[in-house]
Structure formats: structure tokens, C-alpha cells
Amino acid sequence: MLSVCSFPQVKLKIGDKAPNFLLQDAFGNSYKLSSYIGKSPVVIYFYPKAGSSGCTKQACAIRDDWNKFEKNNIKVFGISTDTKEDIKKFVEDYNLNFPLLSDEDKKVTEQYSVLKENGTAKRVTFIIDKEGKIADILEVKEIDSHADYVFNATIKLNSKSQKTNSK
């Protein structure tokens, strides 16, 4: 007799190795977390629903601050369980200039332990250091300050790693 088991989600914590992923954006471009390890810090923010008011506000704040992220070599990815079509509309409607990735099969959302019972992602952000370890986890409550918090936390992380490397 065969039985099907489901394994409980393991809650990730600071210091854990970030689970690798390979996802596509709305335009068919593939992004793999491991491609950025050793090169730059990565911000992965999970959001519930493309085009909803909170998600729009959050994405537009990152868009508006994009030059700061890019100038400091910080990679940012938004991930939701939306279809590529829904994400494409969201990107085009709001001129979003960074990759929003579709996790339609919910595997990555499950790996990061942020899948809600309704099938959408919790609003959680992971800051991954250059070594691929989770440096910070933010359960987003204040959408208005999300982009600033993430930028400042990543800059601190960068300066900390530069001090360590120069010793």
C-alpha cells in the first residue's frame, strides 16, 4: 500500500542557506538565485496578489528607489503565486523595472514557508547575503517603509561584509 505524505514546512531563520530557485518572469526570462551568490546581495520579497493596493504600493516604492538598489549592486526579486499573465499586466500597468517572478506551482513559496492557506504568499521579505545565507527576514507590516528598510538593511549588510573582507 502506498501512502502520500506531506512534509511540514521548515521555517527558515537568519543564518540558514537560502533555498535556491529557478523561476521565470512574465516575459519568459529565467532567474536562478544561485547565479547571484558570490556576486551581490539579493532581496526576495514575496507578495500576495499582483495589482492589489498593498502590492502595488510596495512594488511602486521599489520601482521609485530602483536607482539606489542598482547603484549599490543589490538584486531585487518580487515573487508571487500569480500567473505570468497577471504579473505581466501588473508590470506593464505600473512600469515596474525589476523582475517579478511567477511561482504558480507554489514550490518556492512553500520552500520559503510563506504560503498561506488560500494559496497566496505571505508578505515576507528575505535579504540574502553574498554567500547565499539569509541575513534578515522581514514580515512586512508597514508597506510605506518597506523599500527604505530593505535598502538600508542591505547597505548595512554590504558594509559589514566589506569590513570583514578587508581584515
CA distance linking residue 67 with residue 89, whole number of Å: 23
Identify the pLDDT of residue 140: 84
Contacts of 10 (CB under 8 A, 6+ apart): 113
Identify the pLDDT of residue 63: 96
Question: Which amino acid is present at 35?
Answer: S
Identify the pLDDT of residue 2: 35
Contacts of 62 (CB under 8 A, 6+ apart): 45, 69, 76, 78, 96, 98, 146, 147, 150
Identify the pLDDT of residue 141: 83
Walk me through the domains of the chain, giving residue ranges and CATH numbers. Answer: 22-165 (3.40.30.10)
How do the pLDDT tens digits run along the chain, 167 residues long? 333 333 345 589 999 999 999 999 999 999 999 999 999 999 999 999 999 999 999 999 999 999 999 999 999 999 999 999 999 999 999 999 999 999 999 999 999 999 999 999 999 999 999 999 999 999 988 888 889 889 988 888 777 665 555 45
Contacts of 75 (CB under 8 A, 6+ apart): 36, 40, 41, 42, 43, 69
Q: What positions carry a catalytic annotation?
A: 55
Return the SS3 of 28: coil
Identify the pLDDT of residue 145: 86
The model's pTM = 0.89
Using the structure block, give the residue that is written with the C-alpha cell 506531506. Answer: 6
> Where would I find the H helices in 26-121?
53-64, 66-71, 84-94, 107-111
